[in-house]
Amino acid sequence: MNQFKVMLLVAACLSNAQAAKIKIVTTTTDLADIARAVAGNAAEVSSITTGREDPHTLTAKPGFIVRARDADVWIRIGMELEIGWEPVILRDARNTRIRVGMPRHIDASDHVIRLEVPTQRVTRDQGDIHPEGNPHYWLDPLNGRLVAATIAERLCALYPEHKAKFEEDLHRFERDLDTRMFGAALVDALGGENLWKAIAEKRLEAFLAEKGMADKAGGWYGTMRPHQGKTIVTYHRSWVYLTERFGLRGDLQLEPKPGIPPSAKHLASLVSDAEARKVRVILQEPFYTLKAAEFVAARTGAKVVVVPTMTGGSAEATSYLDMLDNVIRKVSAEL
């Protein structure tokens, strides 16, 4: 009889443990998708933003506070992207476990490759400058890979009972991402890690030539390879990680300064720059107005490409990898 009771108790505990999924709340949909890929069934993941809004400006709604209150783990992009709303949510949620600096508060930017980290003193005269660097890093697939590893590493430390599963899921995600980036032929022959190392050290072409695989490049890299060196115009400096990774030049913006709306004077000089550099694509997110882009397009003959930079931003961008896929496809089609 006693044994029966113990068994019941054990069964109850086990079923309880299985039912209690890790509640992960992320600030953006891309982080949610990566967290879902890594944590699999063990977690219930939701994002504060939907992928359709400007992540710089958001209202800290009461519903967000309730979700942060119940979160076991909080993941943010960091580098001050969410500075206008994350502090209010975290303060009002009263969840001490996910406060900044706590183990359950994961800053996904901890181990990414950063661009545009100011080396000099910044003033607001320069517009919305982020003192820790440009926070739009998830548009570099390598950073997506590093974010996944960062999340997996922390989740393994927090939930060692799921360690094997998290690591297995991480490797599956990495393999998917590697294949999309370089194509299956290269990944199978040379290994994803080696390819990423080579591209991070800017010696991928040499590496491929050395291995006799130069003509085997597929995936996003293969798609963008013929366009290396071309210039594109973007609305905000939110695409620098993409242009940097795929060898495009992305230093022309519709905004005169980050976060400052396009002015007539700036657009006039932009038109002559764009003509001189044979710009064929003007790239921007759906939440910006099209007026400035159309103004420049009409005078230079460039195509306006509107594409979301966040998962969920359009019907095609159903996952982080599909979002990147969509960007590469739409941009390369017009280059």
Residue 88 CB, nearest approach to another protein (Å): 5
Judged by CB under 8 A, the residue of 23, 69, 216, 266 near another protein is 69
For another protein, the closer CB: 45 or 280: 45
Q: Using CA atoms, how far apart are residues 138 and 218, in angstroms rounded to an integer?
A: 21
Alpha helices in 183-231 (DSSP H): 184-190, 192-200, 204-210, 219-224
**96 touching another protein, by CB under 8 A:** yes
Map residue 139 onto helix, strand or coil: helix
> Which range in 7-15, 79-87, 217-225, 293-301 contacts another protein by CB under 8 A?
79-87
54 binds another protein (CB under 8 A): yes
Q: How far is the CB of 229 from another protein (least distance, A)?
A: 25
- The total number of residues written for the chain in this structure: 335
List 2, 16, 59, 120, residue binding another protein (CB under 8 A): 59
164 binds another protein (CB under 8 A): yes
Tokens of 199: 């591209």
- Binding residues for another protein, rule CB under 8 A, total 54
Within 8 A by CB and 6+ apart from 248, the residues are 224, 227, 228, 229, 230, 231, 232, 242
Decide whether 13 or 260 has the Cβ nearer to another protein.
Answer: 260
How far is the C-alpha of 157 from the C-alpha of 288, rounded, in Å? 40
* CB of 278 or CB of 294, closer to another protein: 294
> How many whole angstroms separate alpha carbon 47 and alpha carbon 129?
25
**Pairing relation of β-strands 73-76 and 43-47?**
unpaired
> Are residues 181 and 220 in contact, defined by beta-carbon separation less than 8 angstroms?
yes
Site for another protein in 172-201 (CB under 8 A): 193, 196-197, 200
Residues 6+ apart with CB under 8 A from 161: none
In the complex with another protein, which residue's Cβ is closer, 127 or 247?
Answer: 127
Whole-number Cα distances in Å, 84 to 198, 253, 277: 37, 23, 36
Binding window for another protein (CB under 8 A); candidates: 38-46, 91-99, 210-218, 316-324? 91-99
Select from 44, 158, 287, 335 the one that contacts another protein (CB under 8 A). 287
Residues in touch with another protein (CB under 8 A): 50, 52-54, 57, 59-63, 65-66, 69, 83-88, 91-94, 96, 99, 110-114, 117-118, 124, 127-128, 131-133, 145-146, 149-150, 153, 164, 193, 196-197, 200, 259-261, 287-289
